[in-house]
């Protein structure tokens, strides 16, 4: 059966601004790190794949010295401690309900599951955080049917294709039998490099990015009685009409595997 593979942040929920950013800033404050990212600063940091990597990006030699981090081992230990606290803080924010699922996520996951599709999440975020967002977005019962590939399970994070190659291998799925939902250029590059048809549902931090290579670009998946999906690029003419459905997925799956190129929206 075909597979539907979701990214997490920005796809399942709009997690970056309302979850990850405050969790990073609270963690920095908790550990006495004199850094507080603004929304504008964080918009640049989201282009770095992985939370630990984003944290590491602040550690100039002078800041590391001021924090008493005298060598590489000390830096690695500090990053590990910060990231553990950040993940705990982030999970608490998820569970508080401040980040509702994006339109259409629970609906399309249910439609795909009921049709026998394999469901998975492939993300470079920490696995406990990904599982928390997934359960909140689609419900505990449906979440139990997902395979989750997340965190440090691959050596290179997005835009490298490693996480998607791992998902394909573990699921026993060929690239032509899967569709990915992503929200960022980094995620799109990772999926396309793995040979996967990719739908981009743009998020607040990514709308202006270059999505050349996507099979379809939409503002969201839409819901029949709620937000409607705006089509931003539709090179293959699948024409989702306000709502992205299983029929849309089936049209995309029928595309030749080598014709994913599109104009930049």
In sequence order, the 6+-apart residues with CB closer than 8 A to the CB of 26 are 86, 89
- Which one from 7, 14, 162, 223 is the annotated catalytic residue? 7
Sign, Cα dihedral of 151, 7, 58, 93: negative
Give, in order, the Cα–Cα distances in Å from 188 to each of 32, 89, 184: 36, 28, 6
Is residue 14 part of the annotated active site? The answer reads no
Separation between Cα atoms, residue 191 and residue 193, nearest integer Å: 5
Residue whose entry in the numeric block shows the structure tokens 């908790």: 30
Separation between Cα atoms, residue 258 and residue 13, nearest integer Å: 30
Separation between Cα atoms, residue 20 and residue 219, nearest integer Å: 21
Strand order in the sheet with 3-6: 146-150, 118-123, 3-6, 178-182, 197-201, 216-218, 231-233
Is residue 9 part of the annotated active site? The answer reads yes
Report the residue count for the chain. 265
Residues labelled catalytic: 7, 9
């Amino acid at each position: 059966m075909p597979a539907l593979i979701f990214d997490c942040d920005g796809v399942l929920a709009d997690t970056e601004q309302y979850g990850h950013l405050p969790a990073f800033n609270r963690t920095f404050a908790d550990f006495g790190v004199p850094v507080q990212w603004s929304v504008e600063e964080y918009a640049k940091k989201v282009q770095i794949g992985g939370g630990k990597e984003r944290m590491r990006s602040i550690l100039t030699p002078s800041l590391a010295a001021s924090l008493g981090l005298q060598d590489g081992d000390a830096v690695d230990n500090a990053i590990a401690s910060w990231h553990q606290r950040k993940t705990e803080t982030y999970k608490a924010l998820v569970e508080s309900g401040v980040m509702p699922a994006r339109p259409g996520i629970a609906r399309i996951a249910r439609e795909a599951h009921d049709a026998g599709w394999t469901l998975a999440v492939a993300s470079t975020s920490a696995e406990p955080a990904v599982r928390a967002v997934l359960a909140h977005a689609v419900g505990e019962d449906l979440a139990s049917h997902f395979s989750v590939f997340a965190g440090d399970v691959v050596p290179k994070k997005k835009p490298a294709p490693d996480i998607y190659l791992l998902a394909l291998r573990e699921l026993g799925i060929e690239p032509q039998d899967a569709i990915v939902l992503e929200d960022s250029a980094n995620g799109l590059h990772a999926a396309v490099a793995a040979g996967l048809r990719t739908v981009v549902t743009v998020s607040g931090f990514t709308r202006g990015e270059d999505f050349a290579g996507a099979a379809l670009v939409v503002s969201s998946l839409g819901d029949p009685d709620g937000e409607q999906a705006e089509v931003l690029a539709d090179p293959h003419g699948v024409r989702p009409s306000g709502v992205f459905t299983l029929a849309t997925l089936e049209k995309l799956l029928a595309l030749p595997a080598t014709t994913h190129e599109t104009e930049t929206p």
